Each structure stands twice: as C-alpha cells, then as structure tokens.
Amino acid sequence: MNEFVSRIRERNMKKLVIDPVTRVEGHGKVTIIMDDQGRVDRTRLHIVEFRGFERFIQGRPYWEAPVVVQRLCGICPVSHHLAAAKAMDLVVGVGPEELSPTAEKMRRLMHYGQMLQSHALHFFHLCSPDLLFGFDSPVLKRNVLAVAQEFPEIAKQGIFMRRFGQEIIRATAGKKIHGTGAIPGGINKHLETADRDAFRKDIEQMIEWAAAAVGLVKQVHGKNPTYFDNFGSFPSNHLSLVGKDGALDFYHGTLRAIDDQGHKIIDQVDYTDYLRHIGEEVRSWSYMKFPFLRKLGKKLGWYRVGPLARLNTCDFIPSPLAQKEFEQFRAYTNGKPNNFTLHYHWARMIEMLHSAEVIKQLLADKDLTAGELLRRGKKRGEGVGVVEAPRGTLIHHYKVNENDQIKMCNLIVSTTHNNEPMNQAVARVAGQYLDRQQITEGLLNHIEVGIRAYDPCLSCATHALGQMPLQVELENSRGEVIQRAERGSGA
C-alpha cells in the first residue's frame, strides 16, 4: 500500500503527514500541525495545482478542446468532454436549447452512463471497504479485494454496474475513456440499435442493484446513526446546476446556491455569467484556489458541490424510484439541507439510482437512433460550458480568437469547489479523533474517510503534468517556516 506516516519533531511541534491519501484518485497531502501537548493546532489539505491544460491548450483550434481537455481525468473524462463541448457549442453559435434533440439526448445518455459508472466505482471500489468493515478495521481489510471475499455479491454488482456505464460511454463516445462523441454544435453518431437493445436487456437489473445500493447505505447508517451523522460534519452552503422547475439535472440547468438553512443565495443564474457570482481566492499555502460566492465574500462564501449539494439544492428528482428515496433523504433533516459529510454516500447512491432510471427513459427514445446530429449558428468568440460532474459542478470557459484559436481557458473543477469543505472536514475529523490521542492507523484513516466522502479527484483538480515535485513545509504557530522538505509526488 502506498501509504506512510512520517513524523517530524522539531521545537516540540509534531508534523504528521499522510501522503498520499490512499484511494483518492490522484495525489493529495494532509498536514496536521500539533502543539507540544499533542493537540491539533491546524490542519491543511494540500493539493498541488499546476494548471497545465489551461496553458497547454492556448493557440490550439477550438474544436480540439472537448477531446484534449478530457484528458485531465481518467475517471470522469466525459464531464470535461461535455463541459468543453457545451462551451464550444456557444462558440459555433448553438445555444443549449438549440442543439438537435438527437445531440442533446446522446450527450445526456453519455453523461448519465458516466455518472452511473463513476458512482459505482466510488462506492463499491473505494468506499465499501470503509463502510462495510468500519473505519477502524485493519489495513489489510480495507480494500476491494477483502470486500470481494466477504461480500462477493456486492463486489460483483459494483463491477457489473461500472461496466454497464462504461459500455454506454463506448456506445455514445466511441471509446470507454477519452472518446470523441460530442463535437461543437452536436454529436458525431447515433446510438446503434444493437447497442440499444443490449442495454435495454440489462437496464432493469441495473436499476434493481442501484436501489439495493441505496438500501445498503441506509443499513450501514442505521447501525450507528450518531456516528455516521457527526463524522466530520459541518454546516455549509451548497451549489449546483438545477434543471427546469428545480429538477435534479446533471447535464444542463441554471446555477443555484443555498445556505445551510436552505435559503437561496443565488438562483436561476445563467452559468455563462458565473464570473459575476463565483470568485476564486488564492491562499499562499495551497496551489489550489478556493472558490467562493461573491455575494457572501471570501470568508463566508465557500460552499459544497457534488451529490450532497445537488440533493440539497434541487426541489425534486425526475424519476420515480429516486424521487421516493429523495423524499426519505429530505425527511431525515426535516426538509432542511443535509450537512452531514458522510451522507454524501447516501446522496451518491440515490443519484446512481436516478442515473439508471434516466438511462432507461432515454433508451426508449427514438431520437437516439435517428435524427439530425449537428447544427451551426453564428460564430462567437467566447463560450462557457457547465455540467454537473459526478463530483460536482464543473465549469469550462474559453475565449477564441478570429482564427479559431483558443486564447484563454479557465476551468473550475468539482474538487476545487470542494477545497474549503475538504479542509473543513479534515479539521473537524482531526479535532474529533486525533486530539490528545495516540496516533493509530485507524485514526489516520478517519481523516482519509473525511476527504474521501467528497470523492475528490485530485489528479483532476491538480491538472498535474507528470511528476510535479511537492514541497513540504513545517510552520510554527507564528507562521514561521521551521523546516522545508521537497520530494517527488510520484511516490
């Protein structure tokens, strides 16, 4: 396992580094600065952000963006593919409502297929060890192989659901990862009827398994609700796209943000206007920016994104089984926003169920197998595309010169939105479980669990190009650097 603990003792301060956080896609580093009594002084989640892609794509023709930028990530490339395609739709003069029905539905199918596979991967492969065996379980047990041994049925379902989602991506984008389906102004193919028929055969089973997965989370929660609810929890604002009439929608909508009591901070905001509503703060100790809602300012304006945020911001889920689960989810917090960090898992499974239901609806639609693929309008020099990626709101923004070359690219990825919340979660968990206690493997894992609830895709949030060296700094309470260490991140 790629996990180690290093301690630096100097001037009575201990610095504990868990690096890299295992089972998070990509690399991250947690620093806990403790005082001489062994109390947690401060905690920080460091993410090395090097915006390689934003520079790299400058000068390239705009139509390459959906294919290039998806390579930021091997877990949810479809989100980048679609967000970039949506931005480039605007560049070729095709607004979101002007796409052909076939193009819109094929993209939706691709996206919901990805949602299914990504949520299945996260839950079954990355989280089920913690949830099924408990956070204090021995290291050797906390992996998917142990799950496969003790809960073979669950492991099998995870694998099959992921594969189903990946097959949908293949059938719509041409490849399971890094395909080419969405192009500016539309899509490059129809769904083959053979693929459609194969999916139709399996979709009921997927819905059944997804419903069972929701049940499993509820069951795990039911065993120790107090623990589950309090784990790394804190009140926060929430942000997501919301579809028509307030429906949960992963592909398109307007921006809505609510506070921890459910009051709307912004609503029905056209996402091309995102810069007026969302700012990005730079903090000296982190490479990753901290987005905030301008209306509330840097200190109070941070928010969560992702499954928990989406189920808090939306008014309903437009599919029957998921809507039923959503009602239970909402009732648990008396209709108020749910601020329990570990309930991300619950929300994620409800979304997985919804994705399966939407896929079923789409598979019945004739527009997928026939109809107009591409449209064109009047060219523009700028485009913004936003989708709800598995991990949360994803913003792509491009400016294009008169020769069709990209001259500016700005990306705000889900994990960046969750930067402050993840730091908050680490601080809470460290405060709750590490204060004055012996540092044990199980306790360290608690911190990781807090982060993992957000399913952070750090490679994506960091845009790391190859081996970016990391710098480790040790600070005392006066903010003076006591020690600095450097090493490669590929460890």
Partner 1 sequence: MSDKIKFLMEGKECTGKPGQSILQAADDNGVYIPRLCYHPDLKPGGSCRVCTVNVNGRNMAACTTPVADGMVILNETEELRDLRRALVEMLFIEGNHYCPFCEKSGNCELQALAYRLKIMAPRFPYMFPERKLDATHPAIFIDGNRCIQCGRCVRAAEEVDHKPILGFIGRGVAMRIKAGSSKGLAGVEIGPEDACVKVCPVGSIIVRETAYRTPIGKRTYDHQPIGSDIEARAPES
Is 127 flagged in the annotation as binding? no
Q: Report how far residue 111's alpha carbon sits from residue 105's, in angstroms, rounded to the nearest whole number.
A: 10
In the complex, least distance from residue 128 CB atom to partner 1, rounded to whole angstroms = 32
Is 457 flagged in the annotation as binding? yes
Name which of 175 and 244 has its Cβ closer to partner 1. 175
Name which of 115 and 183 has its Cβ closer to partner 1. 183
Beta bridge partners of 488: 469
Exposed / middle / buried, residue 316 (Cβ in 10 Å: 0-12, 13-18, 19+)? middle
* Residues contacting 27, CB < 8 A, separation 6+: 20, 21, 47, 48, 458, 459, 462, 464, 470, 489
Q: Which tokens belong to 83?
A: 């967000």
Helical (H) or strand (E) element with 173: helix 152-173
Name which of 296 and 374 has its Cβ closer to partner 1. 374
DSSP state of 108: H
Is 76 flagged in the annotation as binding? yes
In the complex, least distance from residue 399 CB atom to partner 1, rounded to whole angstroms = 15
Q: Which tokens belong to 31?
A: 């620093």
Q: Is 447 helix (H, G, I), strand (E, B) or coil?
A: helix
In the complex, least distance from residue 375 CB atom to partner 1, rounded to whole angstroms = 12
DSSP state of 93: T
Name which of 51 and 176 has its Cβ closer to partner 1. 176
Name which of 62 and 346 has its Cβ closer to partner 1. 62
In the complex, least distance from residue 111 CB atom to partner 1, rounded to whole angstroms = 17
Is 325 flagged in the annotation as binding? no
In the complex, least distance from residue 366 CB atom to partner 1, rounded to whole angstroms = 19
* Residues contacting 132, CB < 8 A, separation 6+: 147, 150, 151, 154, 220
Spell out where 237-381 has E strands: 237-242, 254-258, 264-269, 278-281, 290-293, 303-304
DSSP β-ladder status, 303-304 and 406-412 = unpaired
Q: Which tokens belong to 288?
A: 């990753």
In the complex, least distance from residue 410 CB atom to partner 1, rounded to whole angstroms = 19
Residues contributing to the site for partner 1 (CB under 8 A): 59-61, 63-64, 67-68, 71, 92, 173-175, 178-181, 183-184, 188-189, 374, 403-405
Is 409 flagged in the annotation as binding? no
Exposed / middle / buried, residue 18 (Cβ in 10 Å: 0-12, 13-18, 19+)? buried
- Cβ count within 10 A of residue 152: 10
Q: Report how far residue 139's alpha carbon sits from residue 18's, in angstroms, rounded to the nearest whole number.
A: 14
In the complex, least distance from residue 328 CB atom to partner 1, rounded to whole angstroms = 41
In the complex, least distance from residue 12 CB atom to partner 1, rounded to whole angstroms = 49
Task: Could you list the residues known to form a binding site for Ni(2+), using ranges.
Answer: 73, 76, 457
Task: Could you list the residues known to form a binding site for Fe cation, using ranges.
Answer: 76, 460
Task: Could you list the residues known to form a binding site for Mg(2+), using ranges.
Answer: 54, 411, 463
Task: Could you list the residues known to form a binding site, using ranges.
Answer: 54, 73, 76, 411, 457, 460, 463
